[in-house]
Structure 1
Amino acid sequence: MSQSVFSIAFGVGTRNREGQWLEVLFPRPLLRPSAVFINRIKDILGYTGGNQVIDFNFSIASDLARALKYISPEQSALLVRLAESHKPTVACILEHDTPPATVPGAYLKLQLISHRLCKPHEINLTDLFNVLPNVAWTNRGAVDIEEVAALQLEERIKGRMLEVFSVDKLPKLTDYVVPKGIHIADAARVRLGAYVGEGTVVLHEGSINFNAGTHGSSTIDGYIASGVVVGADSTLQGGCSMASSGGQPLVSVGHHCVINSHADVGISLGNRNTIEAGLHLTADTTVTVVNKAKQTIKVVAASELALLDDLSFYRNTETGTVECLNTAE
């Protein structure tokens, strides 16, 4: 067994009637725990190395809490609470950052991002959706799709309603993590696995997918797709979207950018960039670079202007061509 471990977490979750995991909450995931920590818990859990998911009962939880009492008081306190659980409890240990192979492993990785322990695209989420089950998210928690009808009938017989909020592979962020210093107007529009930086304001039309997010102090009223990271003090107005395109695995938005309403951007932007309302800008969009006298300097693909600072992208009202002006010159 390696002396180093990528991540470990203790959690509580939901299984279906066949014992298959549907979801797991990891309140205090750890990134790169110390060798002392791992040595204290490995024999209690029977951990022998590699990436493992290990169920434990109240007795083992109590033993773990005692073993960690002085070297990790926060984890010890969590385990004391988990020992009281009537729901399945589990330890997920990831020795290596390999593609997720289990539901608990996938949920641990998503929560590492949402707890701001890892940033988008710093962690391997390859084939994530092949691992996660499609789940009915209800007022009774996660329910297997095949078990919804029976539960609906059971709730009606008892004089209650089963409310199904969504049917999706991913839940909303705030059912698992409420990051410090944020504002989210509609929690259903931000998925678990989003990285929401401190100071971010997500307005009613704002949406952040998993493995995407903001560095902080940004106002989001548009859509941030998976693979996009928005810099601080930027604004995405209503109806606009940021999405990876042209084969780019990650699209970033620099600081102090303004992407106006209903714009669609698929290239990485430098600092202090502005995108005109309604402009559709992908990696292969033809852009005419002009000076302040509106004279053509060059014609390039938009991808060649990625990550450059102080650019304003807009459509020429007379010719319909997409133009770009360096506002700092």
Structure 2
Amino acid sequence: MSTSLFSLAFGVGTQNRQGTWLEVFYALPLLNPSAEIVAAVAPILGYTGGNQAIAFNTDLSSRLANALKGIDDAQAALLTRLAESHNPLVATLLAEDAALTSTPEAYLKLHLLSHRLVKPHGLSLAGVFPLLPNVAWTSQGAIDLGELAERQLEARLKGQFLEVFSVDKFPKMTDYVVPAGVRIADTARVRLGAYIGEGTTVMHEGFVNFNGGTEGPGMIEGRVSAGVFVGKGSDLGGGCSTMGTLSGGGNMVIKVGEGCLIGANAGIGIPLGDRNTVEAGLYVTAGTKVALLDDKNELVKVVKARELAGQPDLLFRRNSQTGAVECKSHKSAIELNEALHAHN
């Protein structure tokens, strides 16, 4: 058995009454753990290779803690705490970054993103949706929807109130990890699996989906969809929308460069280079016809927006008289056109 792993994490989670995993919390996930760690824990867990989620009990947790003392004291301390758990424990070992096969694996990869160990589109999330059960997220934790009515009645009979915050496949990120150096006005609007870079502010109407996020610093007042990664110093205006894609989907990855401004109710379907501006209310999709203007506002050429993907220092706007989408650059459109031809 190889002692090389892509990722390893020890978690505590929730199962329904049939023993099906609903969610898993990993306090200290590891990316590319050392060979010493793998060699120490594999025999105790009975791990022989591949991608596996292995349930273990509190006695085994104590043995794992002892095995890791002097090798990784942080993991040893975590396992000592897990040995006190009344909830089910699981060790998830990923030999490779492959398609997902279990709920604990799916939760581990979402944790890797939100812990900033991997950036959006740095992981294979193929198969993630079927492996995430639709769960009632409540004041008493995750509850299977088939068990919710009974749990609500039990709470009432005890003089308690069971509040349901949401019914969704994804929990909010801050119930699992709060990255350092961020501000999030409404935590329900950032899903686990979002990558929130240091210095990022997510305002009340901002939303960040899993496998998307911000490099930081920057401000998010609109929507960052799955597959969108916003560069440093960018501002996504209130109500704006971006149209990203899931990792592994074969479609274009939407990356927003540094220092960009996407105005209120605007949106993009192409990657933006550094210091781009999209005026408020304008949607720029890959097939949008864009008129390139020179420094005298004269038409140089009409191109599809995908030809401008990733180019720096662009201003996208709509002509208020003709309705045409126009693009200007800090360098002239003629120079930009020549640069595009040279690139192609």
Give the equivalent residue in structure 1 for 2:338: none
One-letter code aligned to 2:136: A
Query: Would you say the 8 A contact 2:3–2:39 is kept in 1?
Result: no
Give the equivalent residue in structure 2 for 1:287: 290
CA displacement at 1:250 relative to structure 2: 1.1
CA deviations 1:295-323 (Å, max 9, x no partner) are 11110000000000000000011110000
One-letter code aligned to 2:32: R
Give the equivalent residue in structure 2 for 1:229: 229
Give the equivalent residue in structure 2 for 1:158: 158
Give the equivalent residue in structure 2 for 1:302: 305
Worse-matched range after superposition: 47-56 or 236-245: 236-245
What's the secondary structure of 2:204's corresponding residue?
A: coil
Q: Percent identity?
A: 56
What's the secondary structure of 1:107's corresponding residue?
A: helix
| Counterpart Cα distance in 1 of 2:99 and 2:17 | 27
| Counterpart Cα distance in 2 of 1:236 and 1:56 | 44
- Give the 5 Å matches for 1:113-262: 113-244=113-244, 248-262=251-265
One-letter code aligned to 2:95: E
Q: How many residue pairs align between the two structures? A: 329
Equivalent of 1:270, from 270, 273, 288? Answer: 273
CA displacement at 1:254 relative to structure 2: 0.4
Give the equivalent residue in structure 2 for 1:34: 34
One-letter code aligned to 1:255: E
User: 2:334 aligned with 1:315, yes or no?
Assistant: no
CA displacement at 1:99 relative to structure 2: 1.1
One-letter code aligned to 1:96: E
| Counterpart Cα distance in 2 of 1:250 and 1:32 | 25
| Counterpart Cα distance in 2 of 1:296 and 1:116 | 44
| Counterpart Cα distance in 2 of 1:233 and 1:163 | 38
CA displacement at 1:3 relative to structure 2: 3.2
Q: Unmatched 5+ residue regions in structure 1?
A: none
Give the equivalent residue in structure 1 for 2:335: none
What's the secondary structure of 2:146's corresponding residue?
A: helix
CA deviations 1:228-279 (Å, max 9, x no partner) are 0000000001000111279734100000001110001111000000001000
TM-score for the superposition, normalised by structure 1: 0.98
CA displacement at 1:41 relative to structure 2: 0.7
One-letter code aligned to 1:108: L
What's the secondary structure of 1:287's corresponding residue?
A: strand
CA displacement at 1:327 relative to structure 2: 2.3
Worse-matched range after superposition: 39-48 or 226-235: 39-48
| Counterpart Cα distance in 1 of 2:319 and 2:49 | 61
| TM superposition outliers: structure 1 runs of 4+ over 3 Å | 245-249
Give the equivalent residue in structure 1 for 2:341: none
What's the secondary structure of 1:106's corresponding residue?
A: helix
The RMSD of aligned alpha carbons is: 1.1
| Counterpart Cα distance in 2 of 1:299 and 1:2 | 56
